[in-house]
Structure 1
Amino acid sequence: MELIYQSLIRSFVEPAVLVLGDLMIDTYLRGASTRLSPEAPVPVVDISSHTSVLGGGANAAANLRQLGAQVTFVSLMGNDYAAELASGLLTKDGIRNEVVRCDTRRTITKTRVIAGQQLLTRYDEGTELQLDAMCEQQIITVLEQQLPLHNAILIADYGKGLITPGIIEALERLNSIHRKFLAIDAKRLDRYKALQPDVVKPNYKEIITLLGIAEQPDCKARQLEELGASIYDATGAKITAVTLDEEGALIFEQDKLLCHTSARPVSNPNVSGAGDTYISAFTLSCLSGATPATAAEVAGMAASIAIRKSDTAHCKLSELVACFSMKDKYIRDTAELDALCNMYRAQGKKIVFTNGCFDILHSGHVSYLERAASLGDILIVGVNTDDSIKRLKGSERPINQLNDRVQVLAGLGAITHLIAFGDAQHDTPEPLIRIIRPDIFAKGGDYSRESLPEAAAVEEYGGEVVLLPLVPDRSTTLIIKRIYTTPVLKVAEA
């Protein structure tokens, strides 16, 4: 099943998607606070980092691009510093920029001040009024030029004044001529019913507002499961994916409930931009031929990756592929390993790496691997290939072939991932270390720092070499010797 998902995700690079949505800049000022201001009883934050990323509809465009699609972004911005910043970020992310500049507007920017992990305040700048007739016509002209060139259009309407009734009428006209896959994420989905969208993605608050019903936060899914007819009547969409945070998502096909997908638990989630990730992955899954249920599974996984990251984040194609291969502990190539490790680092996970032949697994190995795993959050184990063991141990080894050794090791709960290594040029794990960049490189106490040629590579990336004590009188060599020297008991023939 995981291979089916991976094949689906790798086809995300094929579609060209036009994104129409409100452009925002999310800025994060991070630092530490140790004192109050003498001017008022408010904390003083000593800023140590200043980060700006694409937000709003531009974040949806960034998510699509990071997932592999070819993306054109259509929006509106002012003629100010934030506009220059936005243009640079769009270029950096490889997004084609068709954003109209309007001298009468200021680019929307949301700035968050964070001390440690605590958000202290957010202040917003920019114009959120409905755009004027001249800018509206410029947007319509861009849509007339660009829509026929794309496989799909995604509308990310945050209600900031970009998408007027005139633009919606233009979209209806254009889509009747050039029928494209249409996905919509909007605070007011009823505005788009006449477009008969393929997919819409309201969250819980948006759908209960749309339906005019009271909030029941303790039983969101149960409240909505029987309301398929009302939801379809309000949206007119072929597929409605209602996201419910920790309760997962309800997927409706027209007026019928298709499935209820569960949410993946995430501690301390950063949900800013998660909806953009979800609708982007759902859209690309549908364009790649997935059923709505499969698209929901992929979108849910993509969102769970994004919310593990700090700031307004997105999910990368490589991270999504890697996540669907995580159930299989054995990593088959270094590209997959690189994607996994990048994802773990983005999540702030502490990576431990160790390596060995593990020819005949014994209690000493198990104890050692459990102690290595306790040093961090993720334990990656490099396993020497059969040819590598022959070069290191002699022609009689290994006793067990690589596939057998990997299968036995995969049964240990302490191990997160396994990968084979060793060729004629490198029988040490140094090439893996340069990909993994582990926080901890664990080795048995029979080694010393000086006897490990790969230790320098560990420390080059800021990692630490930790030598763990071994269980006495436990080794593969001793087991093999005991087998060879123990007399064979012969059973007398009857």
Structure 2
Amino acid sequence: MDKAQLKKARVLVAGDAMLDRYWFGDAERISPEAPVPVVRVTRTEERLGGAANVARNIASVGASSTLLSVLGSDEAGRTIEKLLIEEGITPRIEFDPALNTTVKLRVVARQQQLVRCDFEAFPAEEVLKRHLGLFNELLSETNALVLSDYGKGGLSHIADMIESARAKNLPILVDPKGDDYSRYRGATVITPNRAELRQVVGSWSSEAALIERAQNLRRELNLSYLLLTRSEEGMTLFGPEGEFNVPAQAREVFDVSGAGDTVIAILAAMLATGMPIEDAVRIANRAGGIVVGKLGTAAVSYEELFA
């Protein structure tokens, strides 16, 4: 993939952005107050999370990345905006004074995550409605759309967003959440993992049963494709012509957090260049294999991906 070609690919990411905070330290003793380790924090780090991590992965391979999201008018929200600018992402942020920005705090000792604390809230409906006007403006300067649903309320108008993007013939990629996928009807591709798909179609006892359930869901929701990420089994793309399997990239798995963000980000960046979806899936699979070898929410560079 030519760098100049990727630079022209413009991807819009809309959805639930959050701040990932990491507290790193040593845990050498147990607390006298409760049977828990005492962590002496020696270093802190802040990274883009959720939809913002998707936007970061798009920018890190050299494509043009824009993030549309609602954040709180607070310290965490302003930190996300600052990090977006530093990563070369165009921030189109609605700041809601009544909202607390979602923050995920992870405490890590000796490369092991000990605890995660989530601080979350949901944006107000009128803020999200205002957001739709800006969304429709941004569609006219976009080659692909990612809707990153983390179930935090930022995509409560997702059906309208899909309809608007379909009218412009854009590839629409959805990272789904929850057990009701009817809201994603008409998207180009959804990218559930095994646990997420099982929540919607139930368990399967054989590959044939999985194929039947995945294809039935794809047809029922009028999706062009369903891309199932299967950890050590790689990925399967379910489409109108049948199934396309990509084996996992053999490497040590260090941390799977954010791997789904990387997969959908790279898939979107490749589709934005006009690449056929089977080729885009192969490259997205390679990116997922690289990012699980890193700690925490991470991104893949152009050099790592195409070395």
Q: For the residues of structure 1 that align with 2:159 and 2:209, how far apart are their CA atoms?
A: 34
Matched residue, 1:304:
289
Query: Match for 2:96 among 98, 102, 108?
Result: 102
What does residue range 117-128 of structure 1 map to in structure 2 within 5 Å? 117-127=111-121
Taking structure 1 as reference, are residues 251 and 10 closer, same or farther at Cα in structure 2, changes over 3 Å only? farther
Change beyond 3 A, Cα 1:21–1:42: same
Q: Mapping of 1:82-231 within 5 angstroms?
A: 82-127=76-121, 129=122, 131-164=123-156, 167-188=157-178, 190-194=181-185, 196-211=186-201, 213-214=202-203, 221=207, 223-231=209-217
Distance 1:242 1:235, change over 3 A: farther
| 8 A contact 1:76–1:100 mirrored in 2 | yes
Distance change >3 Å, CA 245–CA 200, structure 1 → 2: same
* TM-score using structure 2 length: 0.93
Structure 2 CA distance for partners of 1:279 and 1:291, relative to 1, 3 Å? same
Q: What is the CA distance between 1:191 and its match in structure 2?
A: 3.4
Determine the C-alpha separation between the residues in 1 that align with 2:200 and 2:4: 35
- Does the 8 Å contact 1:23/1:108 carry over to 2? yes
- What amino acid is the match of 2:48? L
Larger Rg: 1
Q: Which amino acid aligns with 1:265?
A: A
SS of the residue corresponding to residue 61 of structure 1 reads helix
- TM-score normalised by length of structure 1: 0.59
Question: Which is bigger in relative contact order (C-alpha 8 A, separation at least 6)?
Answer: 2
2:234 to 244, 248, 255: 248
RMSD value, Cα = 1.9
> Distance in 1 between the 2:192 and 2:76 partners?
29
Quote the offset at 1:54 in angstroms. Answer: 0.5
Write the letter of the residue equivalent to 1:52. E
SS at match of 1:225: helix
Residues 293 and 145 of structure 1: is their aligned pair in 2 closer, same or farther, counting only changes over 3 Å? closer
CA–CA distance in structure 2, aligned partners of residues 224 and 250 of structure 1? 11
Output the CA distance in 1 between the equivalents of 2:18 and 2:200.
25
Q: Residue 281 in 1 paired to residue 266 in 2?
A: yes
CA distance in 2, matches of 1:176, 1:311: 34
Question: Which of 32, 35, 41 is 1:41 aligned to?
Answer: 35
Query: Partner amino acid for 1:183?
Result: L
| Structure with greater proportional strand content | 2
Q: Is the CA contact 1:225–1:250 (under 8 Å) kept in the aligned structure 2?
A: no
Correspondence 1:15 to 2:12? no
CA contact (8 A) 1:210 1:234 kept: no
Unaligned runs of 5+ in 1: 1-5, 323-494
Q: Pick one of 298, 302, 315 that aligns with 2:300.
A: 315
Deviations 1:326-376 (A, max 9, x none): xxxxxxxxxxxxxxxxxxxxxxxxxxxxxxxxxxxxxxxxxxxxxxxxxxx
Which amino acid in the other structure matches residue 227 of structure 1?
A: R
Q: Does the Cα contact within 8 Å between 1:27 and 1:110 map onto a contact in 2?
A: yes
Aligned mates of 1:202, 1:172 — CA distance in 2: 17
Aligned length: 306
Q: Could you tell me how far apart the structure 2 residues matched to 1:259 and 1:174 are?
A: 29
Does the CA-based 8 Å contact 1:259-1:293 persist in structure 2? yes
Are 2:223 and 1:237 equivalent residues in the alignment? yes
Aligned-pair CA distance for 1:168: 2.5
How many Å apart are 1:174 and its aligned residue? 2.3
Match of 1:260 among 216, 237, 245: 245
> How far did 1:114 drift?
1.1
**1:365-444 correspondence runs (5 A):** none
Task: Tell me if structure 1 keeps the 8 A contact 2:227–2:237.
Answer: yes
